[in-house]
Amino acid sequence: MHCPQPSSRTLVLTPRVWSLISLALIVGIEASACHPRSSAVSPERCGPTVPETAQHPVAIPARQLAGEYDLIQVRTQPAPSGSSSGHLHLMPVDSAARAASVGGAVRDLIGWFDPKTGDRNRRADAGSRDPTQPGAVLAGSHLRLGQSGSLESYVEQLTITAVSQEGFWGWWKAEPGFELTQDQKSGRTLPDPAGYFCALRVRS
What's the pTM? Answer: 0.70
Of 161, 172, 177, the residue nearest 194 (C-alpha): 172
The Cα 154–Cα 173 span in angstroms is 11
What is the pLDDT at residue 69?
Answer: 98
Q: Which domain holds residue 125?
A: 43-201
Give domain status of residue 64, yes or no: yes
The tens digit of pLDDT for each residue in 51-71 reads 888 999 998 999 999 999 999
What is the pLDDT at residue 46?
Answer: 85
Omega of the bond leading into 131 within 30 degrees of 0 (cis): no
With contact defined as beta carbons under 8 Å apart, do 85 and 71 qualify? yes
Give domain status of residue 4, yes or no: no
| Number of domains into which the chain is organized | 1
Return the minimum-mean-pLDDT range out of 20-24, 57-61, 115-119, 185-189. Answer: 20-24
Check which CATH number belongs to the domain holding 177 and give it: 2.40.160
Residue 150 has pLDDT above 80, yes or no: no
Q: If you average pLDDT over every residue of the chain, what do you get?
A: 76
Residue 173 has pLDDT above 60, yes or no: yes
Give domain status of residue 30, yes or no: no
How many degrees, rounded to 5, is the angle at CA 29 between CA 28 and CA 30? Answer: 90
Give domain status of residue 191, yes or no: yes
- More confident position, 64 or 152: 64
- More confident position, 7 or 101: 101
